[in-house]
């Protein structure tokens, strides 16, 4: 068992952070935060929706639901009641490349949180009757998601850029894949939850050695895990740029996303892209907000975003507007993207973008849940821990030339478009082509 200690407390934003690796490959990271009574505990699993094939689409999210349905030691009611009885909360989420199970409690109740969450992650029964009952719940969740065109358009954008691939498919799966999901498929997916592919992260009022002992009792010291080889084979398959996907719906608004492939999460230029995105569409002072909403009143919501993955990423601009204004909104978005490519951003815009990113990150450090997420995701996704000071340094180091470089690579290529609403898809396709 190896332990590493580093201390970011000198900046006044971070406490003592320690990392221990158990013989079975499980990584445990803690950050002690002085002056708080709460503690956030999370188990991060290096399995997400991109680790599924067509027949198992939605299995990661399905499994996330099922782990709350009962173990040999606790029923579903006992799982939820245990933490609610002490004022705590437990939840989980599934992403494209990982899944997280977490709880937030008072420091005195951390042993209970560790026991409950680890029991769920390591000892779920996956009973047939629970699988059948939860199937209906997930189908309702898909229906609820499909009723929100602002959510669906992002799935459509992933499809138009990444195609019918694990990374391009919806995290929830489809109605067909969920209806056909078998217990054998879910058990096989659950079997890929190995200690070497997990990270435990804890932030708040906690003691590292005590956390390690609690987790060791839950997971065990012995055994070893092997990396799952599927991630290497489920590579992103970028589609040709300039594609248009339109789903016609009788909605009051048209929801659109314009953009294309971007940088991977390991590309150091991602900091420049984040500053660019913040300045272009990250707030009320951004170019897109000012041009689309403030000056012309064409949309209520307009913003830009980045989504980095292991081997690629996405950059997009979202807007929701009246169907008759789609052309005007798209023209402005294209114009502003072209202007950034040709002329870059002003020093004032760059400074605002940097301030927005660094200020938001430091404000997030006031929440133990945010600290836990940053700690766990940093280890699982990047394999390293960058302190707030490290991250601020990388953001502040971004130059106008750095932004011009990433703009030329990410924004200049043929842009793809996804639209949900009562619009003429053939006309939009001809316009983009």
For every residue of 366-404, DSSP letters joined together read TSHHHHHHHHHHIIIIISS---HHHHHHHHHT--HHHHH
CA dihedral 347, 351, 352, 355 (to 10 degrees): 170
DSSP state of 311: S
* Shared domain check, 225 and 281: no
In this predicted structure, what is the pLDDT of residue 429? 62
Find where tokens 């892209």 sit. Answer: 273
To which H or E segment does residue 94 belong? strand 89-94
Count up the domains in the chain and report the number.
Answer: 2
- Check residue 15 and give its pLDDT: 67
DSSP character string of 158-207: HHHHH-SSTTTS-TT--HHHHHT--HHHHHHHHTT--GGGEEEEEEES--
**CA end-to-end distance (rounded Å), the chain:** 58
Does residue 49 lie in a domain region? yes
| The pairing of beta strand 27-32 with beta strand 16-21 | antiparallel
Let me know if 72 is exposed, middle or buried by CB neighbors in 10 A (0-12, 13-18, 19+).
exposed
Alpha carbon distance 4, 20 (integer Å) = 6
Residue ending a domain, choose from 183, 200, 229: 229
Rounded distance between C-alpha atoms, residue 156 and residue 24, angstroms: 40
| Residue 346: predicted pLDDT | 96
Same domain? For 373 and 404 the reply is yes
Question: To 10 degrees, what angle do helices 347-364 and 270-281 make?
Answer: 100
Show the low-confidence residues of the chain (pLDDT under 70). Answer: 1-15, 220-236, 425-433
Instruction: Give Cβ neighbours of residue 230 (< 8 Å, ≥ 6 apart).
Output: 51
CA 175 – CA 138 distance, rounded (Å): 9
Q: Is residue 235 part of a domain?
A: no
| Residue 295 domain-assigned (yes or no) | yes
Q: Which residue has the tokens 């391009």?
A: 168
Q: Which of 170, 200, 229 is the C-terminal boundary of a domain?
A: 229
Residue 309, domain CATH: 3.30.830.10
Do 249 and 219 belong together in one domain? no
Q: What percent of the chain has pLDDT over 70?
A: 91
Query: Do residues 266 and 324 both lie within one domain?
Result: yes
Asked if residue 238 belongs to a domain, the reply is no
Instruction: Determine the structural domain holding residue 283 and report its residue range.
Output: 244-432
| 236 occurs within a structural domain | no
CB contact at 8 A, 67 and 121: yes
Task: Please indicate, yes or no, whether residues 183 and 255 belong to a single structural domain of this protein.
Answer: no
The SS3 assignment for 419 reads strand
Look at residue 166 and tell me if it is in a domain: yes
Residues 50, 13 share a domain: yes
Q: Is there a single domain that holds both residue 206 and residue 258?
A: no
Please check whether residues 83 and 211 belong to one and the same domain: yes
Please check whether residues 270 and 127 belong to one and the same domain: no
- Nearest Cα neighbor of 46 from 225, 187, 184, 222 is 225
Residues 10, 107, single domain; the answer is yes
- For 84-89, the CB contacts below 8 A with 24+ separation are 86/112, 88/112, 88/113
Residue 239 lies in a domain: no
Q: Is residue 69 included in any domain, yes or no? A: yes
Please report the pLDDT score of residue 383 as a whole number.
79
**Each residue's pLDDT tens digit, 219-243:** 865 444 444 433 444 566 777 778 9
Q: Which residues are catalytic?
A: 64
Residue-level pLDDT at 386? 82
273 Cα distance to chain centroid: 17
Whether 225 and 255 share a structural domain: no
Which residue, of 167, 202, 229, is where some domain finishes?
229
Residues 205 and 346 in one domain: no
């Amino acid at each position: 068992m190896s332990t590493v200690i580093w201390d970011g407390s000198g900046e006044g934003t971070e406490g003592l952070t320690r990392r221990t690796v158990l013989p079975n490959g499980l990584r445990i990271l803690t950050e002690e935060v002085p002056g708080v009574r709460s503690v956030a505990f999370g188990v991060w699993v290096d399995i997400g929706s991109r680790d599924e094939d067509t027949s198992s689409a939605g299995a990661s999210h399905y499994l996330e639901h099922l782990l709350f349905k009962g173990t040999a030691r606790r029923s579903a009611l006992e799982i939820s009641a245990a933490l609610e009885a002490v004022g705590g909360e437990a939840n989980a989420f599934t992403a494209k490349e990982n899944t997280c199970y977490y709880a937030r409690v008072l420091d005195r109740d951390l042993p209970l949180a560790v026991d409950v969450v680890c029991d769920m992650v390591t000892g779920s029964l996956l009973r047939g009757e629970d699988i059948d009952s939860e199937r209906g719940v997930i189908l309702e969740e898909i229906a609820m998601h499909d009723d929100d065109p602002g959510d669906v358009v992002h799935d459509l954008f992933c499809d138009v850029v990444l195609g019918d691939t694990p990374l391009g498919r919806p995290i929830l799966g489809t109605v067909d894949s969920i209806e056909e999901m078998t217990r054998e498929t879910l058990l096989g997916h659950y079997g890929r939850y190995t200690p070497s592919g997990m990270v435990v992260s804890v932030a708040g009022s906690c003691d590292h050695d005590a956390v390690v002992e609690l987790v060791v009792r839950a997971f065990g010291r012995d055994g070893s895990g092997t990396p799952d080889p599927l991630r290497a084979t489920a590579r992103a398959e970028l589609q040709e740029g300039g594609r248009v996907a339109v789903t016609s719906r009788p909605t009051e608004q048209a929801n659109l996303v314009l953009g294309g492939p971007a940088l991977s999460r390991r590309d150091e230029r991602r900091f420049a892209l984040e500053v660019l995105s913040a300045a272009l569409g990250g707030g009320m002072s951004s170019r897109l907000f000012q041009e689309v909403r403030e000056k012309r009143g064409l949309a209520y919501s307009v913003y830009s975003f980045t989504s980095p993955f292991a081997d690629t990423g996405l950059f997009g601009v979202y807007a929701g507007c009246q169907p008759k204004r789609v052309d005007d909104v798209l023209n402005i978005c294209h114009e502003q993207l072209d202007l950034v490519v040709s002329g870059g951003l002003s020093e004032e815009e760059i400074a605002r973008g940097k301030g927005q990113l660094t200020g938001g990150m430091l404000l997030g450090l006031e929440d133990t849940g945010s600290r836990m997420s940053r700690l766990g995701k940093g280890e699982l996704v990047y394999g390293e821990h960058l302190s707030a000071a490290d991250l601020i340094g990388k953001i502040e180091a971004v130059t106008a030339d750095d932004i011009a470089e990433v703009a030329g690579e990410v924004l200049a290529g043929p842009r793809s478009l996804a639209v949900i609403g009562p619009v003429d898809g053939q006309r939009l396709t001809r316009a983009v082509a």
